[in-house]
Structure 1
Amino acid sequence: MTPTASLLLLLLLGLSQALPLQEEESEEEVPDDTVDITTRILTSNNGTDEILLEGDLLAPRTRNAMMCWSQSCLWRKGSNGLVVIPFTVSREFTSWERQKIDSAMKAFHSRTCIRFAPRQNERDYISFENKAGCFSALGRVGGRQVLSLNRQGCIYHGIVQHEINHALGFQHEQTRSDRDNHVRINWENINPQMAYNFYKQSTNNLNTPYDYSSIMHYGKTAFSIQYGRDSITPIPDPNAQIGQRQGMSYWDIMRIHRLYGC
């Protein structure tokens, strides 16, 4: 074999070994506007036995309404101004998956007063688990609080942040009390049995504007009865993008600041 051929063979072998890792990393990092956050979450949640509201919110067991306004459902803030949330991560997750979860949590550290710390013996804590779907309770519910991230469809930076935001007390953007000024719900394109997922809530909007770019906003086709028919249409511009999954928006971060007094 000539020196040139040997060099070419070595380069090809090196490339073949590097590609799988690059593809695994790029799956999350490269924006994919064809698959919005809601599609991924609802697809993952198809097989769950949990009672879920709005697609990925565990039905409340300790309070009557799906809302989190009072201090009773917020995570406690320390005298140092930080909100430290204990957590555990299931051993079912691989090292790479744990790194993804850790990376999503650390994004809160750098931009808000929220801090996630490995649980010692605290009573209230978030337990990241590999259940059947992507879902969370709304706000702090007390005791071991499951936040499910199914390994087959939920380990994405934006999805992890989406579910953590639910655990902090935030609802979906399109259920805001003022949503009718910003989006049109196309009820005719929604399965009547799924219509309850679009009911408006008595939300605390924290004096912030409606945010199409929120990590908490559904995509245009959520719960649509037929492919290509939108269940949500932004107004007045129907082409406005909603349902992104890359990470928290400016207003997502500002709402954490306002709700927790960061």
Structure 2
Amino acid sequence: MVIFSWTFVTLLLVSSAWAEEEVSSRRDVPSREPSVGELLERANRNRIPDADEPALIGGDIAIKSEADRNADPCTSRGCLWLKYTDGNVYIPYYIANNYSARERAIIERGLQSFSSLSCIRFRPYQNGDHEWISIESRNGCYSYVGRQGGAQTLSLDRFGCLYHSTVQHELLHALGFNHEQTRSDRDNYIRVHWDNIMDDMAYNFYIIDTLNQGTPYDYNSVMQYERYAFSKNNLPTMEPIPDPNVIFGQATEMSQNDIIRLNRLYQC
């Protein structure tokens, strides 16, 4: 009986040690941060806009009218923010006061990340500014493409949009950039599976005359959506070519090509 008891206790101790080791090993495996495309689609999936909010294309690009649906404002008209004599581009911003201190810190980190990588300088709004980016927690994540004049809303919903990647993504829209999967040479690098796209969402994959700034197609761009974007059947809507196994749409911050094309566009 004593031998049986000691055997039982030993088995319990060994089992406990195995369990602790398994839990420890699970903790040591870092969970993958969702890509910017996943975050944006999740935040905007069931978006119900208020009456004063714009229609969206591409999931998160605000447009003023249906005439803008298939046009790139940065090629159809001037959309760049103004450069000053010191070579920097100063862009006023206003952050709505309903963000918490932690949420505001995430936004400000995204704003300031541009100053170390380019000549873009986001600065707080001041009385007398004629144009600025108004960062507000509206319904979903979205931005207009390029400088609009006056106050232009950039929405970062408190519930789903406050990540470094989404802040950079929306700011790049405001600076004049579209999604990577809609750029003019897309068909050389991405095969779109139109039959897998949600009904009435195919226009989000239409190619537009984008400003590529002489940079190659970038699967790692923070502006590239992921493989299943707008899928209606859990099958891929996009596939890299010629190698379908290439990983893409997993960016959590601006890529080197994002930075290069930003600097070329603004001649930093």
Q: Give TM class, smaller chain.
A: 0.7 to 0.9
**Alpha-carbon distance in structure 2 between the residues aligned to 1:235 and 1:137:** 30
Partner amino acid for 2:63? A
Using the size of structure 2 for normalisation, the TM-score is: 0.82
Unaligned runs of 5+ in 1: 1-29
Q: Is 2:265 the partner of 1:259?
A: yes
**Alpha-carbon distance in structure 2 between the residues aligned to 1:67 and 1:176:** 14
CA shift, 1:79, in A, is 0.3
**Selected match of 2:200 from 176, 193, 218:** 193
**Alpha-carbon distance in structure 1 between the residues aligned to 2:262 and 2:64:** 21
DSSP 3-state at the match of 1:128: strand
**Alpha-carbon distance in structure 1 between the residues aligned to 2:256 and 2:64:** 28
**Selected match of 2:89 from 66, 83, 86:** 83
Residue 72 to residue 173, structure 1, CA distance change in 2 (3 Å)? same
Partner amino acid for 1:42? E
Match of 1:41 in 2: 40
Q: Is 2:146 the partner of 1:139?
A: yes
Contact 2:132 2:149 in 1 (8 A): yes
Unaligned runs of 5+ in 2: 1-29
Q: Is 2:179 the partner of 1:172?
A: yes
**Alpha-carbon distance in structure 2 between the residues aligned to 1:67 and 1:32:** 35
**Alpha-carbon distance in structure 1 between the residues aligned to 2:198 and 2:65:** 26
CA shift, 1:67, in A, is 3.0
CA shift, 1:43, in A, is 1.9
Match runs of 1:106-255 below 5 Å: 106-121=112-127, 122-227=129-234, 229-255=235-261
Contact 1:159 1:245 in 2 (8 A): no
Using the size of structure 1 for normalisation, the TM-score is: 0.84
DSSP 3-state at the match of 2:265: helix
* The 10-residue stretch of structure 1 (139-148 or 239-248) with the greater mean CA deviation from structure 2: 239-248
Match of 2:56 in 1: 52
**Alpha-carbon distance in structure 2 between the residues aligned to 1:31 and 1:212:** 21
CA shift, 1:63, in A, is 7.5
* The 10-residue stretch of structure 1 (95-104 or 240-249) with the greater mean CA deviation from structure 2: 240-249
Partner amino acid for 1:110? S
**Alpha-carbon distance in structure 2 between the residues aligned to 1:153 and 1:216:** 17
Contact 2:147 2:176 in 1 (8 A): yes
- Once the two structures are superposed, residues 181-216 of structure 1 have per-residue CA deviations (whole angstroms, 9 ceiling, x without a partner) of 001000011123110110000112111100000000
**Alpha-carbon distance in structure 2 between the residues aligned to 1:31 and 1:242:** 18
CA shift, 1:70, in A, is 6.8
Aligned length: 231
Match of 2:25 in 1: none
Match runs of 1:64-103 below 5 Å: 64=68, 65-69=71-75, 72-103=78-109
Residue 189 to residue 71, structure 1, CA distance change in 2 (3 Å)? closer
DSSP 3-state at the match of 2:78: helix
CA shift, 1:168, in A, is 0.1
Larger radius of gyration: 2
- Once the two structures are superposed, residues 17-74 of structure 1 have per-residue CA deviations (whole angstroms, 9 ceiling, x without a partner) of xxxxxxxxxxxxx7725x3322211221122324101100001359852331377311
* The 10-residue stretch of structure 1 (238-247 or 105-114) with the greater mean CA deviation from structure 2: 238-247
**Alpha-carbon distance in structure 2 between the residues aligned to 1:167 and 1:57:** 9
**Alpha-carbon distance in structure 2 between the residues aligned to 1:196 and 1:39:** 19
**Segments of 4+ in structure 1 off by > 4 A?**
61-64
**Alpha-carbon distance in structure 1 between the residues aligned to 2:157 and 2:243:** 35
Q: Percent same amino acid at aligned positions?
A: 46
CA shift, 1:164, in A, is 0.2
* The 10-residue stretch of structure 1 (36-45 or 144-153) with the greater mean CA deviation from structure 2: 36-45
**Alpha-carbon distance in structure 1 between the residues aligned to 2:66 and 2:225:** 26
**Alpha-carbon distance in structure 2 between the residues aligned to 1:176 and 1:235:** 15
Partner amino acid for 1:44? A
Partner amino acid for 1:57? I
Residue 81 to residue 40, structure 1, CA distance change in 2 (3 Å)? same
Contact 1:88 1:119 in 2 (8 A): yes
RMSD across aligned positions (CA): 1.7
